[in-house]
Structure 1
Amino acid sequence: MTRMLRNNLINLYLIKFAKWFNLVMPVVVLFYQDNSLGMQQIFMLKSIYSVAMVVMEIPSGYLADVWGRKKTLILGSFLGTAGMAVYCLSYEFWAFAAAEVILGIGYSFISGADSALLYDSMKAAKREKDYMKQEGWITSAGNFAEAIAGVCGGLLATFSLRMPFYVQLLIAAVAIPAAFLLKEPKVQSTALAKGFGTTLQTVRETFQHTRLRAALLISSFAGTASLTFAWFVQPYFKAANLPVSLFGVMWTVLNLSVGVSSMFSYRIERKVGQRNALLIIILGFTIGFYLAAWEVSLIGISFLFFFYLVRGIAHPILKDYINRDTRSEVRATILSLRNFVIRINFAIIGPALGYLTDNFSLSWALIATGTGFLLTALPFLKPLWKPAPQSSSDKPS
């Protein structure tokens, strides 16, 4: 392993830690409710966050490809810290909304750029075949961090529901020096993208590339499903009458399951093959939603683990399928496009699912989400049933 690759892996792990060691997530719904917000307002906040990401997602990917992945990661790290500072000082919906806008923009500068820098670092070291393995391990490390944070956040919340936010501010700041210490790999060509029109052309060409379009959309729909399911977990715990003292513990165990399955995702894909891996992901997500909806109880919490295990398998595999058909000089743009689709999907369906939960039931909201994922993902399955050919001359540029 080269010194550059080792350095970047260490600092990308630290950035992932700062982003995923989320002390507030296990109790954030309780925090919002303590500040007089209902589920529809909570989903509205997350939609505002998603819109902020949507607005900047593709431009941030373009900047990462032209300005540099390191610089965009530095900017994203500063904004993530600033957004958490605003949260620490906020007490009502519109102040929370302002914090969500800052955090959403900050996250958009990190998402896509981190995976692009990882892939190109490995490519520069002639280790790109190990990308899925490293992406899985970094994802796993992020989920382990989130799992440990679940326990810590729950303990901090016993002092005050605001205390996790104060400590989270310090955790978010860790990403800033880590981003400064990154080294930009030399496989990137900045001469290609001469204006934002090039980015728009890249988007058009992506959707003309059958395999890449299928990989990007399936990965995006899976990301939307994962994000939505995560926001159902705390209402599920509450509906199942889980003691609040155990929220952090259960959150921890769920994320540990994601971390474990992420570590072995590359082995699973190699063992079962691309076609079966895709079927496991699509059917597994759908069944996970249905099982959770079928039994909302303390016993039913065990069904949540099924979804989280599939989630851990899915994301490293699907990101790898995108990277295989993407050129280095537009990689961050394409990965940002994936996150763009995730967030715009969530911005559209989030408030509707919040309304469905408040006015009908959590089970109906889970069934609706699972059915929607199945119907949108299945039509794009066929182009990916066969492995990509060795030639990549049709990759969008």
Structure 2
Amino acid sequence: MNDLFFFKKSTHRICYFCSPMSGSMRFNIISLYLIKFAKWFNLVMPVVVIFYQDNGLSMQEIFWLKSIYSMAIVFMEIPSGYLADVWGRKHTLLLGAILGAGGFALYSFSYGFWAFAVAEIVLGLGHSFVSGADSAMLYDTLKSSKKTDQYIKQEGWITSAGNFAEAIAGVTGGLLATISLRMPFYFQFAIAAIAIPAALFLKEPKWHAKEVAQSFSTILQTIRKTFNHRELRAAILVSSFTGTASLTFAWFVQPYFKAADVPLSAFGILWTLLNLSVGVSSFLSYKVEKRLGQRNSLLIIIFGLSLSYLLAAWEISLAGIAILFAFYLFRGIAHPILKDYINRYTQSEVRATILSLRNFVIRINFAIIGPLLGYLTDEFSLGTALLVAGITYLVAALATALPLLSTSSSKETME
């Protein structure tokens, strides 16, 4: 094992046990599915842009709201990952579940930009406590049973389940929106609350920390050492830029539907089909990497997502909706494979912190580029914004992926 990384072992007293996967560990995976369901069964997403516009917001204001949400995540993302490592993934997942439900409760009775901004801050903080901790919990659950080779498959299946949940929610949310554009938010609160009992029944799988590190400087040390590791740095950055591209594209989908003259009644159905396509490709992502290899899979992800952006900018029409489906297929393949790159080079006791660092970069990228793309959409055109986003992603992803593309397909890890 490479010795260039991470904390002194004396910082925590780590307790390990290795055995075949127990019933509690299997139940962990079930609970993680429920948490993913509660997070991704999103009744509001298919119509949220229309909801904002109905409340008088412009596209730039909508992207500003999402920028505020991202900055709330940025504020707590790395500290929440650190807390997950030293306080426990179960505790941070539970706190994230409570905040997530609370954010939708606030949204249900909010009106106007600033009220929405408060709800977005609560939701952003809740998201930060879940992101990173969920994947770390999954990886270490598998590691405790010596089944880390199944991570891409399990991450893909959980991601797939989340996308299938979002797909079903698309139809349901669209139907609820025909009653009232606020109705999906009422039901979303109940769905988000499912994550609370699911988190309560989790069990820390492989280790637990008896002592909390003495200062916040430990987080900074982790970040510094992370960016001194060539392959891990590349894995975090290319995964982060890909995550930013996926997040940004999702916020262009409803404006694209509107520009292509898609009837509002069809928004939920198309949203459902898009997320079903992500679910299918996530489910099969481990087979894609096994068949094509790491290098070719990474190239296909980068060029597939970039080309989809450029084609969507060129063809905004009902026929062009096929391009959106292509993007979502590549998006589904990308998520499990790129997260596996990060996990492969990361030690268990800082895994949640490192995965949170990835999400930190995604959100800070989006907080910067989101309002700019909203401005380009309002002042120029949707096609211009898509074109700028696609070229930016292509350049950034290729530049940061070079160390991974030049590395052999060896399974060298930091474990």
Matched, 1:159 2:183: no
Task: Using the TM superposition, give the Cα deviation of residue 189 of structure 1 relative to its aligned residue in structure 2, in angstroms.
Answer: 5.2
**Structure 1: distance between partners of 2:212 and 2:390:** 40
Deviation by residue 1:322-378 (Cα, 9 ceiling, x = unmatched): 000000000000000000000000000100100000110000100100100011111
SS of 1:91's equivalent in the other structure is coil
Q: Which region of structure 1 is more displaced relative to structure 2, 355-364 or 180-189?
A: 180-189
Matched, 1:323 2:365: no
Cα pair distance change 1:388/1:188, threshold 3 Å: farther
Q: What are the ranges of 5 or more consecutive residues in structure 2 without an aligned counterpart?
A: 1-20
**Structure 2: distance between partners of 1:250 and 1:339:** 27
**Structure 1: distance between partners of 2:325 and 2:198:** 32
**Structure 1: distance between partners of 2:205 and 2:24:** 8
> Residue 128 of structure 1 aligns with which residue?
148
Deviation by residue 1:62-115 (Cα, 9 ceiling, x = unmatched): 100000000000000000011101000101110000000000000000000000
**Structure 2: distance between partners of 1:144 and 1:172:** 16
> Residue 42 of structure 1 aligns with which residue?
62
> Residue 232 of structure 2 aligns with which residue?
212
Instruction: Calculate the TM-score normalised by the size of structure 1.
Output: 0.97
> Residue 291 of structure 2 aligns with which residue?
271
Matched, 1:222 2:268: no
The one-letter code sitting in structure 2 at the alignment partner of 1:69 is R
> Residue 174 of structure 1 aligns with which residue?
194
Q: Which runs of 4+ in 1 moved over 3 A?
A: 187-194, 387-393
SS of 1:183's equivalent in the other structure is coil
Does the 8 Å CA contact 2:33/2:158 hold for their aligned counterparts? yes
**Structure 2: distance between partners of 1:103 and 1:14:** 18
Instruction: Calculate the TM-score normalised by the size of structure 2.
Output: 0.93
Cα pair distance change 1:188/1:319, threshold 3 Å: farther
Cα pair distance change 1:141/1:87, threshold 3 Å: same
SS of 1:298's equivalent in the other structure is coil
Q: What are the ranges of 5 or more consecutive residues in structure 1 without an aligned counterpart?
A: none
The one-letter code sitting in structure 1 at the alignment partner of 2:251 is W
Task: Using the TM superposition, give the Cα deviation of residue 186 of structure 1 relative to its aligned residue in structure 2, in angstroms.
Answer: 2.4
**Structure 1: distance between partners of 2:411 and 2:365:** 33
**Structure 2: distance between partners of 1:72 and 1:263:** 27
Does the 8 Å CA contact 1:4/1:121 hold for their aligned counterparts? no
The one-letter code sitting in structure 2 at the alignment partner of 1:356 is L
Task: Using the TM superposition, give the Cα deviation of residue 188 of structure 1 relative to its aligned residue in structure 2, in angstroms.
Answer: 4.9
Task: Using the TM superposition, give the Cα deviation of residue 194 of structure 1 relative to its aligned residue in structure 2, in angstroms.
Answer: 3.9
Does the 8 Å CA contact 1:87/1:96 hold for their aligned counterparts? yes
> Residue 60 of structure 1 aligns with which residue?
80
215, 221, 235: which one aligns with 1:201 = 221
The one-letter code sitting in structure 1 at the alignment partner of 2:72 is A
Aligned length: 394
> Residue 304 of structure 1 aligns with which residue?
324
